[in-house]
Amino acid sequence: MACGFSRLTALLALCSISGSLAQLSGSVGPTSSLSSKQGTICNVLNYGGSVGSSDIGPAIGKAFSDCVTKATNGATLYVPPGNYNMQTWQTLNHGTKWAFQLDGVITRTSTTGGNMIVIQNANDFEFFSSTGKGAIQGNGYQCRNAGPRLIRVVTSNNWSLHDIIMVDSPEFHLVIQDGSNGEVYNTVIRGGNLGGSDGIDVWGTNYWIHDIEVTNRDECVTVKSPANHIQVEQIWCNQSGGSAIGSLGANTTIQNVLYRNVYTNGGNQIFMIKSNGGSGTVQNVNLENFIARNTAYGLDIDQYWSSQSTAPGNGVQLKDITFSNWDGFITDGARRAPIQVLCADGAPCTDININNVNLWAANNQATNKCRSAYGTGACLKSGSGGSYSQVTKTISKPPAFTTPATMSGDLSDGFPTNSPIPIPTIPPSFFPGTQPLKALAGK
């Protein structure tokens, strides 16, 4: 994708959001065009690799060290179409004005932990498939929670990853660690139906993540601490655990976050902010235009999250968080609340605003729950103040509730954990009634 289009689109996104403040702080993505990175093509087949290779890892590393890092006017590390096994993980450290073009399929064959591909300390970087068929197959069913993550981008600036498919990682699929000004889009992730299979975890500054489909039973697209200026939109959590902020611990610092146009089909929650103890602050968060069907939980703030050990501190302070324009239903409203705002007694939530949120339950009965939470909507108390015990409020079907839209590729179940998961194609849409914000590769 040409640099001019990428950065112009990001800037337009800053100015064109209706109903909320855009959360990007500036342009994202590479600072030079893709064409400028193709002056030198570093084809792995010229550095010891071959189609059908039993380990393409060394060829990737050699193409990077002997070609990419020595190019003076930009370079592209190229994995051509074909199937490749990989058992030697690669950390591609430093490098400016370069790209990783993955048009083949790389399959994990080693059970070594860590990360299959690490992009570290890169600047003006692009990881992409020109056909939209480039993929990494993790075959996680063979070494569940005992093998590598697929891709990790560490302390890198001005970069993008797009039109890539990631399948069945033994652990997390894509981790974005620190850095700034990154963009991830037009990407599909398929994981097994169990925890520890996170889709995208992101922390850092000024990230735009959009047009993503995730299937797994853990995080869909989740913001972690520290994070500032994160914009997430047109996300399809398709039989996924659901999106979240957290889990949060001591010294949390997250601010200026926007999630918009999120469609959730099945899975654990529509959206969750989760912690247990801890300290610090989450503030200025907008969560708008959510559609959901058949999730276990709905709008869920849980600062007593039992799956996390108690962190030091009286609780993370949550403030200035707005939920607006939600439609959807959970499976069992008697068992779990469509709206649950359970805040830390030691750090009550303030300025929590729930506007036009129309959530119901498939079994036609529901209660909402609040604790130490102040704001407007649902069972929140007005104003601000100290802690208070949990309040449970029986509700009727919201008058404005409508049956949520569907997507033609909705899955009815997650993928098995003990057999291969097929490599999918990238869909034409990631949110009902919308087109991707950027054209799909190969289209």
In which band, very low, low, confident or very high, does the pLDDT at 371 lie, cut at 50, 70 and 90?
A: very high
Q: Is the pLDDT of residue 18 over 70?
A: no
The total domain count for the chain is 2
Q: Are residues 192 and 117 in the same domain?
A: yes
Averaged confidence pLDDT in the chain? 94
Tell me whether residue 320 is one of the annotated catalytic residues: no
Separation between Cα atoms, residue 88 and residue 118, nearest integer Å:
12
303 and 257 share one domain: yes
Asked whether residue 205 falls in the same domain as residue 246, the answer is no
Task: Give a yes or no: residue 437 inside a domain.
Answer: no
User: Quick check: 170 pLDDT over 80?
Assistant: yes
Residue 250 has pLDDT above 50, yes or no: yes
Q: How confident is the model at residue 442 (pLDDT cuts 50, 70, 90)?
A: confident
Beta strands 366-371 and 391-395, pairing class: antiparallel
In a domain? residue 39: yes
How much is the average pLDDT of 333-354?
A: 97
Residue 9 has pLDDT above 90, yes or no: no
| Statement to judge: residues 111 and 191 lie in one domain | yes
Across residues 274-280, what is the average pLDDT?
97
Q: Does residue 211 share a domain with residue 197?
A: yes
φ and ψ of 389, to 5 deg: -70, 165
Instruction: For residue 1, name the pLDDT band (cuts at 50, 70, 90).
Output: very low
Check whether residue 221 and residue 288 sit in a common domain: no
Kindly state whether residue 209 falls inside one of the protein's structural domains. Answer: yes
Average pLDDT over residues 8-35: 68
pLDDT value of residue 145: 83
Write the burial class of residue 350 (CB in 10 Å: 0-12 exposed, 13-18 middle, 19+ buried): buried
Instruction: Round to whole Å and give the CA distance between 430 and 236.
Output: 5
What number is the average pLDDT over the span 392-416?
Answer: 95
Higher-confidence position of 16 and 171: 171
Same domain, 213 and 293: no
Is 439 domain-assigned? no
Write the pLDDT tens digit of every residue in 120-148: 999 999 999 999 999 999 999 999 888 99
Cα separations in angstroms, 366 against 331, 339, 393, 396: 10, 9, 9, 7
Q: Taking 80 as the threshold, does the pLDDT of residue 243 lie above it?
A: yes
**Same-domain pairing of 226 and 163:** yes
Contacts of 8 (CB under 8 A, 6+ apart): none
**Neighbour count for residue 364 (Cβ, 10 Å):** 11
Domain that holds residue 370: 240-410
Q: Which of 200, 234, 268 is the last residue of a domain?
A: 234
What confidence score (pLDDT) does residue 23 get? 85
Domain final residue pick, 182, 208, 234: 234
pLDDT at 15 over 70: no
Q: Count CA atoms closer than 13 A to 234's CA, side-chain side.
A: 23
Instruction: Answer yes or no: do 188 and 261 share one domain.
Output: no
Assess contact for 163 and 134: CB atoms under 8 A: yes
Q: Is the domain of 124 the same as that of 257?
A: no
**pLDDT > 90? residue 13:** no
Question: Rounded to whole angstroms, how far apart are CA atoms 172 and 377?
Answer: 35
Band (pLDDT 50/70/90 cuts) for residue 22 is low
CATH number at residue 24: 2.160.20.10
Taking residues 98-126, report their average pLDDT: 98
DSSP state for residue 49 in the 8-state scheme: -
Q: What is the pLDDT of residues 287-299, one digit of tens each?
A: 999 999 999 999 9
Q: Quote the percentage of the chain above a pLDDT of 90.
A: 92
Among 218, 300, 302, 327, which one carries the catalytic annotation? 218
Contact 160, 1 (CB under 8 A): yes
pLDDT at 443 over 80: no
Position 329 scores a pLDDT of 97
Please give the share of the chain, as a percent, with pLDDT higher than 70: 95
Q: Answer yes or no: is pLDDT of 411 > 50.
A: yes
Higher pLDDT, 23 or 443: 23
Give the global pTM.
Answer: 0.95
Domain membership flag for residue 426:
no
